[in-house]
Amino acid sequence: MSSDADKHECSCGKGLTRRQFLTSAGAGALIVTASGHLGKDQEASAAVIKSGEETKITLLINGKQFQMLVEPRWSLLYVLREELGFTATKEGCGRGECGACTVLIDGMPRYACMTLAVEAEGVEITTVEGLMKGEDLGPVQKAFVEHDAFQCGYCTPGQIMAVEGLLRKEPDPTVGQIRQGVSGNLCRCGAYPHIIDAARRAAEMKKSGAL
């Protein structure tokens, strides 16, 4: 036996009852409303992120300040090499895997390719050029030359910065600590034994005050 509610159901089109029509209409309204919100969210996002928009920042690199306009999407690596000419910092993988772009940020090794330039404002950045004393190489650089700690040389700036960062934290590292310290830097030529020897020699030179 049909209920009173069923008796009052009317057909609002072929095979469609009033209840079905109202249910469908309600679902449609929800979709339209959600679409409207998505559209507004997309508009808001577009308003925040504009291609080519630049912002002014000040970077402290190797003890000198550089004021410049950068796009928020630019990496520190791009700014160092292409905008400021610090080309000793190399681009390898561009995705934080090889370590060729390693620089020091507040004394700690960081991948410049994975750091936005705008993130680097207000910190001290050191590149391999900053380890030199005028025209003289720094202790880590000299130790790398002395122990032939490179072959093709492409990874060498990043390796040097990784060792420099390690020695600033641990002046007298063990071999295990050295291996850990350079573990984020790949040498495709396989010069790791010489890199470890260079790191040990650099530690000795730093302790003795040799330049």
What is the domain-level CATH number for residue 185? 1.10.150.120
CATH of the domain at 62: 3.10.20.30
Q: Are 63 and 130 in contact (CB under 8 A)?
A: yes
Same domain? For 61 and 105 the reply is: yes
Q: Which of 75, 96, 129 is the last residue of a domain?
A: 129
What percent of the chain lies above the pLDDT cut of 70?
75
> How would you class 79 by CB atoms within 10 Å of its CB: exposed for 0-12, middle for 13-18, buried for 19 or more?
buried
Q: Specify the number of domains making up the chain.
A: 3
Q: Which of 104, 129, 154 is the last residue of a domain?
A: 129
How far, in Å, CA of 145 to CA of 142, rounded? 5
Alpha helices in 17-152 (DSSP H): 18-48, 76-78, 139-146
Average pLDDT of the chain, as a whole number: 85
Q: What is the average per-residue pLDDT within 198-205?
A: 98
Same domain? For 120 and 144 the reply is: no
How far, in Å, CA of 199 to CA of 205, rounded? 10
pTM: 0.75
Same domain? For 71 and 117 the reply is: yes
Same domain? For 97 and 145 the reply is: no
Phi, psi of 174 (to 5 degrees): -80, 170
Among 17-31, 50-64, 177-191, name the one with the lowest average pLDDT.
17-31
Quickly state the pLDDT bin for 144 (edges 50, 70, 90).
very high
Q: Please measure the distance between the N-terminal and C-terminal CA atoms of the chain and give it in whole angstroms.
A: 101
Residue 29 belongs to what domain range? 4-48
Look at 43 and 201; give whichever has higher pLDDT: 201
Give the model's pLDDT for residue 209: 81
**Cα separations in angstroms, 86 against 83, 123, 176:** 8, 17, 31
Q: Which of 129, 153, 184 is the last residue of a domain?
A: 129
How far, in Å, CA of 99 to CA of 185, rounded? 4
Task: Inform me whether the pLDDT recorded for 51 exceeds 70.
Answer: no
Same domain? For 116 and 153 the reply is: no
Same domain? For 120 and 176 the reply is: no
